[in-house]
Chains A and B, each alone.
Chain A
Amino acid sequence: MTGHARVSEGSATGAPTQEGALVEVRDLNVTFRKRSLFQQTRSVRAVKDLSLQIGESETLGLVGESGSGKSTAGRAILKLVPAESGSVRVAGRDVYALNESQLRDARRDMQMVFQDPYSSLDPSATVGASIAEPMQVHEKLSKREARSRAAGLLDRVGLRESYLDRYPYEFSGGQRQRVAIARALAINPKFIVCDEAVSALDVSTQNQVINLLEELRGEYGLSYLFIAHDLALVRHISHRVAVMYLGHIVESGPAERVYSDPAHPYTQALLSAIPDASPYREKQERILLRGELPDPANPPSGCPFQTRCAYVMDICKESMPGKTPIDSGGDVACHLQTSGPELRGAPLGTLATTKPPSTALGAEK
């Protein structure tokens, strides 16, 4: 299943070859358990059989609604939450096979930038101390060396060196996020997970931070896993995009292809829901999804999207669809590819023109 997907993705994108992928995640499963004394243990499978690759200096966008498991996936890849099964390789090291001191060493290659820099930066430490800390821990730099490098990093992210002795509360949201980025860069990582890193910022500040991330990627050859719910932003920054729904990656592929020719009905609905301010673009028919994301603790049988899908067939309620490669790049997990209308690698748009969702729905009834 995954081997299949790799070949198709590698061949269809101009991105670095997947063979030497910097980050390689295979069949990752994360389950949260809630034990209580008198009740049965409740478990939520937050991430299910997640596989993805990210090449060197490549950005993979991970999109999905809240509750889709995208943040959990990002954290599990860095082993910040434990995975139940599966493997994660970052820069040649199997993250889940390492002992604690090896893991600490491996963390130099992988860093994270969180959504809210106010809660991820120590409010009682100066910005300089926060940025210097990882260098002192990992590279055993002296205080003075670390401080001078911290000054250089502040300068690199567009802040004045004199800010070294200031505290996080003295900064605006955008500046704080720059500090968080400087800290993530401090030990020359190869891979950074950006979890909703700019979601809390105003649009013009957000763009400055995005431009900075892009510059740094080019400069240091960084790879990003860019987790966000803003689809337009993800489109802008990502080479490839993966769409998550209820713990599963339902579709992935080159960003151009996923956005212009979505192959999964969920991707199609998600894209049609983006409000568009352009007075010139043709208004597209909005696909209004009924209801909301099902309870992750009690997921539907078969395909996770079957309860809200306009094209739902009997087989969708019975089994989880496997991955089918899409001719124009990437792959999709949808029964439409192999059953019913049998798209066989064609994007969903071809179906919509011949058979509108309403007819598909009517036929089902």
Chain B
Amino acid sequence: MTDSSITANERSSADSREVESTDDTLLRIDDLRIDFATDHGWANVINGASFDVSESQIVGLVGESGSGKTVTSLSILGLIPFPPGRKSGGHIWYRGKDLTEMPMEALRHIRGNEISMIFQEPMTSLNPAFTIGDQIGESYRLHRGASKKAAMQRAAEVLDLVGIPNAGKRVRDYPHEFSGGMRQRAMIAMALVCDPKLLIADEPTTALDVTVQAQILELLAKIREETGTGIVFITHDLGVVAELCDKVVVMYAGEVVETAIGRDLFIEPKHPYTEGLLTAMPQLGERGEKLGSIPGRTPEPWAMPEGCRFNPRCRYAQAKCREKVIPLEDLGGGRASRCIRVHELELEGAR
């Protein structure tokens, strides 16, 4: 092992001790199951997802499209419509209360107040007919009973916090007067206006250019530093996860297949799917070599394979992988894997 990997391991074990010793868990998703009604009957899209988020912690939720990462995040705030969706098991604990059992009225009090969300598309999430300040201030007026004037002032404050120059004037602008990066900042400001304990960011930088993405990542890290907000960061970009997140949860076909702390995941993945994702990342240093890829595609929710859901695409699959449902095995140190062969395989990490 190289020097850098040893230091990364040391750091991560320190991290994990911290996580275990403190009792500042904000959110605990426990064996969550969600189904959707389809033409093929009830299809299970989230199958026993479990992970938790502590104060000041940034948790990366990673997977390809169709892995269930967005559905998981929407379910936290009760944003899965019924029908077609339904919860068929599990809990989402937030500070001792189960969000999934909470009456709508109480949930509404938490939404946008203690837990808020940043969506991927700032263009479609902002109302073109209201000023930026109105929209940022709205939840402040709703949750804090602030006057219109105080809400506008607060809006300017958070807009300034997210780095919009001349925020006091810009609150009176309409969304079309903001550029893409500024709109995403406005969305973040909107999420921050009530000092949330937990922020859920669903691909907040996917539509942005790398230079703007770098600014937004810096901003989220700063917010965590200054306010102690816990962040669930949903993305398909492992590079972003490596830069920003303290903990990684990898999802595939509605299941958590691997969790890791710090850079462990990138040094030594513990699930063949993670290995596939890591080796598929184009590297900056080479040309001509074939890019790695995972054969096949994510299964449809109504046609999940028997046994391990990844087995048809897995290069290490054996007969035993197809026999029974594979549980998520705790490997200690904040690591877990849903691979039956985890102890015999030596998987390749990021280069």
Contacts and interface: CB of A to CB of B under 8 A. Distances in A.
Physical interaction between A and B: yes
Interface of A: 65-66, 172, 174, 202-205, 207-208, 210-211, 214, 229-233, 235-239, 255-256, 259, 269-270, 272-280, 286, 288-289, 291-293
A211 B182 CA distance: 36
B64 interface: yes
B343 interface: no
B350 interface: yes
A144 B232 CA distance: 55
Given A278-B266, A279-B267, A280-B351, A273 B210 contact: yes
Contacts of A288: 214-215, 218
Nearest to B273: A204
Interface string B317-328: 000000000000
Contacts of A239: 287
Given A203-B64, A207-B293, A276 B211 contact: no
Given A207-B292, A232-B282, A289-B211, A255 B65 contact: no
Contact of A207 (B5, B278, B280, B287): B280
Contact of B242 (A203, A208, A276, A292): A276
13 contacts: A207-B282, A208-B293, A210-B282, A211-B293, A214-B290, A235-B285, A272-B214, A273-B210, A275-B240, A277-B239, A279-B5, A279-B350, A292-B212
Contacts of B4: 279-280
Interface string B208-241: 0111111101100000000000000000111111
**Could you say which of B5, B215, B240, B286 has the most chain A C-beta atoms within 10 Å of its C-beta?**
B215
B287 A292 contact: no
B287 A255 contact: yes
A204 B236 contact: no
Contact of A277 (B8, B181, B350): B350
Given A174-B297, A207-B292, A202 B211 contact: no
B312 interface: no
Contact of B8 (A235, A275, A279, A291): A279
A116 to B, nearest CB: 14
Interface string B279-321: 0111111110111111001000000000000000000000000
A259 B211 CA distance: 16
A202 B276 CA distance: 12
B297 A235 contact: no
B242 A275 contact: yes
A149 B313 CA distance: 31
Contacts of A236: 282-283, 286-287, 289, 291
Most A CB contacts (10 A, CB to CB) among B64, B209, B218, B263 go to B209
B211 A66 contact: no
A279 B243 contact: no
Contacts of B124: none
Contact of A273 (B213, B278, B283): B213
B282 A269 contact: no
Contacts of A208: 293
Contacts of A214: 290
A203 B277 contact: yes
Given A202-B236, A236-B287, 9 more contacts: A174-B297, A203-B281, A204-B294, A236-B282, A259-B284, A274-B239, A275-B210, A279-B4, A292-B212
Interface in B163-186: 165, 179-182
A232 B284 contact: yes
A278 B351 contact: yes
A260 B330 CA distance: 41
B212 to A, nearest CB: 7
Nearest to A68: B209
Nearest to B63: A202
A237 B239 CA distance: 19
Contacts of A205: 293, 297
A153 B277 CA distance: 29
